[in-house]
Structure 1
Amino acid sequence: MTAADTRRGRWSLLARLTVLPGLARLLLLTQLAFNVGFYLVVPFLATHLSDDLAMAGWAIGIVLGVRTFSQQGMFAIGGALADRFGVRTAVLAGCSVRIAGFLVLAAAGDFATVLVGTVLIGLAAALFSPAVESSLAVQGAELEERGVISRTELFGLFAVCGEVGAVTGPLLGAVLLSVDFGLTCSVAAAVFAVILAAHARWLPRGPHAERRPLLAGWADIARNRTFLVFAAGYSAYLLSYNQLYLALPVELDRVGADWALGWMFALAAVVVVVGQLPLAAWARNRFGAHRALPLGFGLLSLAFAVVAGFSPWTLPSGLSLLPAVLFVVLLTFGQMLAVPVAQDLVPRLAGGRNLGSYYGFLSSAGGLAVLVGSGVAGELLDLAASPGPSAPVPWSVLALLPAVGGLTLLVLARRYSNESRSH
């Protein structure tokens, strides 16, 4: 299939997958399978901690923040390990750790045990995700040179495959949760056991392993000031998107619609599956990649601002879900614009070196932002539990964060674009 044929097939996920070589297809389908197992459990964790274990809002915020930090926060280490030991080793180790984490969480009945389980679940992704992303970046560069697909589009496909898994995960999780949260965790562990077996059989033995010294990537990052500024601004994205797990349940509880949580995650997934590739193409042609990134952050900010505008009042029953729906849709559109562009920029800012470490550091910066911000957000969101004059406060504070991050990235994008033209 030619590049023109590929572009005409941009609306079909299956059509795009058929033109990719085996390793790229495996990496994309890996993301799909990972998300099925992950979204079986994590979207419902806050509800379980609140309703079943009667934890306070601050404790729930800490658990969710620690889960994200142990994942994104440890990505820098996981990425360095992937550079040193290769993709296969990191992915298999990550699957094993996640199985252990889900089994611990299935049996957890107190705060300390819940923390252990959530740390293991997060640490697992720190092992396998930078490895997969760095390998995909290498594949994307090769395929872009051959005219098969651009690297930005490949990362867009990566997001689509992840969301196909995320459609299945919450719906299945909602069904299992009606029986028992422990059963849900056990099923998730079984899913990752299947993933582990499949990757032990078919994942190549690290053709892209760089075998660099463990700290080589970190030293390179420390000297790369442009990337450090980029990572600081981009960290607002992860903190914002993490509010699907913390702030969205608060809004649904405010309107008496806890039952809709699974459907909201399914809505986000469907929007990505249907819209990711055409939106990426439209943004690239209309705005350019560097403008699409801050525009995505603007939509993230708008998502919180919209809920802030509705939060002081009680809407009629037929419209009660409107703020939550707008929040999910705007947040998802912001993600679709920002993330593939950012993932494509990382190898460019890194100069093609130590990609596992660079991708890991980018996620670690976001994980640190989530760790610091989740406890504060958990406290503030108590103000949004019911309609009133103080209800917009947490949503307005959360709206400021991606707005500042987007402005930072806009300035950086203009500078990077000018430097690229001058060279």
Structure 2
Amino acid sequence: MSAATATPPRARPRPSTWSRTSATGRALLTTVLATGVTTFMFLPLLALHLSAAGTPVGRVGLLIGLLSLCGQGFSVISGLLVDRVGARATTTAGFGCRIVGYLLIAAGGPALVPGIAAVGIGGSLLVLSVKARLVTEAAAHDDTRGMLALRSTFGNVGVVLGPALGAVAYPLGFDTILAAAVLSHLVLGFHLTFLTKDEANAEAKNEAKNEADDGPAAPHPPHAADRRPAPERTAAPGRRGPTVLFLAAVAYWAIYSQLNSVIPLTAKTLTGSTAAISVVFTLNGALVLLCQYTLLRRFLGHLPPRTLLTAGFAAFALAYLALLPHAGWLSLLLFTVPATLAEMLIGPSLDELAVTTAPRRRTGRALGLLGLAGAVGSPLGAGLGTHLLQSLHGGPGVWLTITTTAALAAGACLLLPRTAR
């Protein structure tokens, strides 16, 4: 066969993120799954446990709020620790803090408040440090987006499995759930502290040692992988970049918080069924688990994160517009699909922009600021949303206000720096 008529070889499919991840990266992803399961075994049942122990309802609310405040509000300090003392040491501290917290909660009495605070702070340390280590693992393979999407998928598996396992274990006693959390954290903490190494960091240290011993390395011809634009870092974003990114994250959490505050009430009004919100969350979870990784890595992998962020907020705007006709189950289902698409696009894109625009030694701080945005946006959005719902009696003004907010956030995302893919 002549060269002119020869069929060009078919390009090999890109290996999956899991198959390219080191043993340490896989252990970190397993940690995301296991801590997600134990957290959501524990969290939905905490209020029931406190009430059964005779805690007044008002104090139960304050204790649940303390857990959330320590988890998200501590994120900036967690990010600083990641940058200053290292992600590995911060991971170990997070496991230790959570184990102590669970034990204090089991003790009850005066130990309850510091125990809940320790669980929240430990969770913040774990989330930030594990995410930073996964980003470092992914950078060696030019697969930051795939890793962030895979991490989100593993986390959502924990969100789905945790409440079910918690419901099964609860008849055995709340201490059984706490014991499972402590045991899993001991095993994972020991493994990540003593039995694994951060391969990307070890490689960098070896290169630095070799250069110190042998002098600067001789220049070498660029490998094919080196000729591609590196997405892991971009040009300096200027002063407006971090500010716009932080405000976009606040807007995301403010809009997303409606799923826990306004939408449950609206779902019952639209359908007359208290089970309607369960349908929304079940469909939302199934779509995220089945579609997020494939969507972000295979179908939208060529698009810059700024574009995905803009599209995500536009999807939020469409979702809340679907509630305007007040068409019962149809409106609710038409809301759920674009709202889930927005969740799938915005969360990982915020993380990707944070780690690709921040200086290398400030990755933890950048991720910590996104956590702080959640601490600001979630209560702000929930409070304003329920106020609008009450004052406007669930009329179209509620959905037009949220839609306008999402549209403004989409426009603001166009001010973010461009990043190469």
User: Normalising TM by the smaller chain, what interval?
Assistant: 0.7 to 0.9
- How far is the alpha carbon of 1:222 from its aligned partner? 12
The answer (yes or no) to whether the contact 1:65–1:374 under 8 Å persists in 2 is: no
Q: 1:288 to 1:205 in 2, by over 3 A?
A: closer
Are residues 299 and 82 of structure 1, via their aligned partners in 2, closer, same or farther at CA, if it must alter by over 3 Å? same
Q: Is 1:239 aligned with 2:254? A: yes
> Which residue of the partner structure matches residue 274 of structure 1?
290
C-alpha distance in 2 between matches for 1:93 and 1:275: 34
Q: Which has the higher contact order (CA 8 A, sep 6+)?
A: 1
| Cα displacement (A) at 1:99 | 3.6
* Cα 1:177–1:401 shift into 2, 3 Å: farther
The corresponding residue for 1:173 is 166
**How many residues in Structure 1 have an aligned counterpart in Structure 2?**
377
- The worse-fitting range, judged by mean Cα deviation, of 351-360 and 294-303 is 294-303
Structure 2 residue aligned with 1:348, among 332, 356, 368?
356
* 8 Å CA contact 2:268, 2:276 repeated in 1: no
Kept in 1: contact 2:257–2:381 (CA 8 A)? no
Q: CA deviation at 1:331?
A: 2.9
Distance 2:395 2:166 in 1: 30
Give the C-alpha shift of residue 104 in structure 1. Answer: 5.5
Q: Cα offset for 1:359?
A: 1.0
Encode CA deviations 1:199-239: one digit per residue, 9 max, x unaligned.
344343797499xxxxxxxxxx9984421221122222233
Report the AA paired with residue 408 of structure 1.
A
1:5-404 to 2 correspondences below 5 Å:
5-7=12-14, 16-43=17-44, 55=57, 60=61, 66-102=66-102, 118-144=116-142, 150-176=143-169, 184=177, 187-204=180-197, 208=201, 224-251=239-266, 264-280=280-296, 281-285=298-302, 288-307=304-323, 309-310=325-326, 315=328, 319=329, 326-377=334-385, 383=390, 389-390=393-394, 397-404=401-408
Q: Are residues 263 and 407 of structure 1, via their aligned partners in 2, closer, same or farther at CA, if it must alter by over 3 Å?
A: same
Paired AA for residue 291 in structure 1: T
Shift of 1:356: 1.1
Q: Structure 2 stretches of 5 or more lacking a match?
A: 1-9, 205-235
Instruction: Render the CA deviation track for 1:60-91: whole Å, top value 9, x for unaligned.
Output: 5x766554332222111001112222222211
Distance in 2, matches of 1:100 and 1:132, equals: 19
**Letter of the 1:196 counterpart:** G
The offset of 1:106, in angstroms, is 6.5
Secondary structure, counterpart of 2:140 in structure 1: helix
Is 1:37–1:192's contact at 8 Å kept on the other side of the alignment? no
Whole-Å Cα distance in 1 between the matches of residues 156 and 25 of structure 2? Answer: 17
* Aligned counterparts of 1:392 and 1:185: Cα–Cα separation in 2: 45
Name the SS of the counterpart of 1:412 in structure 2.
coil
1:408 aligns with 2:406: no
Question: Alpha-carbon deviation of 1:25?
Answer: 1.7
Amino acid at match of 2:300: A
Matched-pair contact (CA < 8 Å) for 2:78–2:368: yes
Q: Distance in 2 between matches of 1:117 and 1:301?
A: 40
Q: CA deviation at 1:276?
A: 1.0
Over 3 Å counting, the alpha-carbon distance change for 1:114 and 1:300 in structure 2 is farther
Task: Report the alpha carbon displacement of residue 36 of structure 1 after superposing the two structures with TM.
Answer: 1.0
Residues 129 and 364 in structure 2, CA contact (< 8 A), matched pair in contact too: yes
8 Å contact kept, 2:100–2:118? yes
Name the % identity.
26
**Structure 1, residues 327-351: CA drift from partner, whole Å, max 9, x if none?**
5543331121122222222232113
Give the counterpart letter for 2:131 in structure 1. Answer: E
Task: Indicate conservation of the 8 Å contact 1:86/1:206, yes or no.
Answer: no
Which SS does the other structure have where 1:354 is aligned? helix
* Bigger mean CA offset, 91-100 vs 47-56: 47-56
The normalised TM-score by structure 1 is: 0.72
RMSD of aligned alpha carbons: 4.2
How far apart in 2 are the matches of 1:303 and 1:77? 35
Q: Indicate the larger mover: 343-352 or 72-81.
A: 343-352
- Distance of aligned partners of 1:239 and 1:143 in 2 relative to their CA distance in 1, 3 Å threshold: same
Deviation sequence 1:278-305 (CA, Å, 0-9, x none) = 32132344x5432111111222344444
Match of 2:224? none
